[in-house]
Amino acid sequence: MRRVLSGIQPTGQLHLGNYLGAVRNWAKMQHDTDAFFCIVDLHSITIPQEPGAIGRESLRLAQMLIAAGLDPEVCTLFVQSHVREHTECSWLLECTASFGELSRMAQFKDKSDRQEFISAGLFTYPALQAADILLYDTNDVPVGADQRQHIELTRDIAERFNYRYGETFVLPAAVIPSAGARVMDLQRPTDKMSKSLDSPKGTIDLLDQPDQIEKKIRSAVTDNDGEVRFDVSNKPGVSNLLSILGAATDKDPEELASEYSQYGPLKADAAAAVVELLAPLQARFAELEADPAETTRLLATGAAKARSIAAATLTRAKSNIGFLPDS
C-alpha cells in the first residue's frame, strides 16, 4: 500500500479552498492507502500567536477534519508537536537545504511581504515540512497547487541527503487534484482563497451558514462583459465560480459554462451546491464539538502510531550521518 502524508495548519478557519484542494481528497484516499494526516501546529508559530490559542485551534481543526470525512480508525491523524522527531529531523534537513533554495520559496516571499517581524522559522519552514513528509517514508503528498514548490524542494533535499549519507529517505511526489486545486478569493479572484488574507467576504469558511454562503457568492467579483466562459486569465472571477460549482458537483467547469448565459443563475447554483456540500460536515462538527475528550483520545492514539514510525526513520538518518550513538 502506498504511504500518504499531508499536513494542514491549525490557525484560522478551515475554508473551501482547504476542503476542495486537499481535505476532500484525503478523505477519499484514506481507504486505499496507508494515510497520515498531521495538524502542523509547529508551522503555525512561524507567525506570532496569541498565548494559549494554538491548542484550542488544533483540537478544533481535528474535529473539523473528522467532520470532513477523515476517520481516525482508518487513517493516522495526529498533532505535529506531539511527535518530537519532527523538530529534530528538521535540523538535519535545514543543514541539507541551501539558503538559495529557501529564498526562492513563493510562500516565504508572500508571507514575509505581509509581516513586520519575519522569524527565522518562517524562512526555514520548508525544512520542517520536508521532515513531516520524509519521516514517514511517504510516497504521495496530496496537496493544493500552492504546495507544489514545497514538495519539489522536499524531493531535492531528500535526494541530496541520500547522496551525501547513503540511501535514507523515500522520494515523495505531490498529488494535486484536477478540480479544486486552486480555489480563488471571491473578492480578489487573482489571489488564492486563504485564511491569512484580510478578506472575510472573499473566503467561505466551512462553518459558514447558508445565508452567509449565498451572500458571499452573490457579491463575488466578476466582470462587465456578461459572457459565461471558463477563461482563468481573462475572466478570473467567473472561472472561479465555475471551478467551485464544478468541484462541488463533480462536473467539468468548461462544460458547465455552456449551461449558463448569465452570471445570476451561475452564482445561485454555485451557492446552492456549496451549501449542500457543507451541510453534512457542519452537522457532524456540532456533534464532535460536544465531546472534545473523544477527539483528544483519538489524537493520542494517532501520535503514538506516528511516533513509532518517525523514531525509526530519524534513527536511520542519524546513524547514516554517523553521529556517536548515545548508548
Give contact residues for ligand TYM (rule: CB under 6 A). Answer: 5-9, 17-18, 21-22, 40, 43, 129, 132-133, 141, 143-144, 146-147, 150, 181-183, 192-194
With respect to ligand TYM, which residue has the nearer C-beta, 8 or 217?
8
In angstroms, what is the minimal distance from the CB of 193 to ligand TYM?
A: 4
Q: Is 111 a catalytic residue?
A: yes
In angstroms, what is the minimal distance from the CB of 261 to ligand TYM?
A: 28
In angstroms, what is the minimal distance from the CB of 290 to ligand TYM?
A: 26
With respect to ligand TYM, which residue has the nearer C-beta, 108 or 165?
108
Q: Quick one: which of 194, 237, 75, 63 has its CA closest to 142?
A: 75
Q: Is 192 a catalytic residue?
A: yes
With respect to ligand TYM, which residue has the nearer C-beta, 17 or 302?
17
The beta strand positions in the chain, using DSSP E, are: 3-8, 34-39, 76-79, 140-142, 173-175
3-state SS class at 35 = strand
Whole-number Å distance between alpha carbons of 103 and 111:
12
In angstroms, what is the minimal distance from the CB of 217 to ligand TYM?
A: 15
Q: Contact 155/129 with Cβ under 8 angstroms? A: no
Whole-number Å distance between alpha carbons of 214 and 272:
8
Q: Contact 192/203 with Cβ under 8 angstroms? A: no
With respect to ligand TYM, which residue has the nearer C-beta, 222 or 240?
240
For the beta sheet containing 76-79, the strands, ordered from the edge strand earlier in sequence to the opposite edge, are 76-79, 34-39, 3-8, 140-142, 173-175
3 forms bridges with which residues in the sheet? 34
Catalytic residue among 195, 201, 215, 251: 195
Give me the residue whose beta carbon is nearest to ligand TYM: 21
In angstroms, what is the minimal distance from the CB of 295 to ligand TYM?
A: 19
Catalytic residue among 28, 109, 192, 267: 192
With respect to ligand TYM, which residue has the nearer C-beta, 148 or 294?
148
Query: Which residues are the active-site residues?
Result: 111, 192, 195
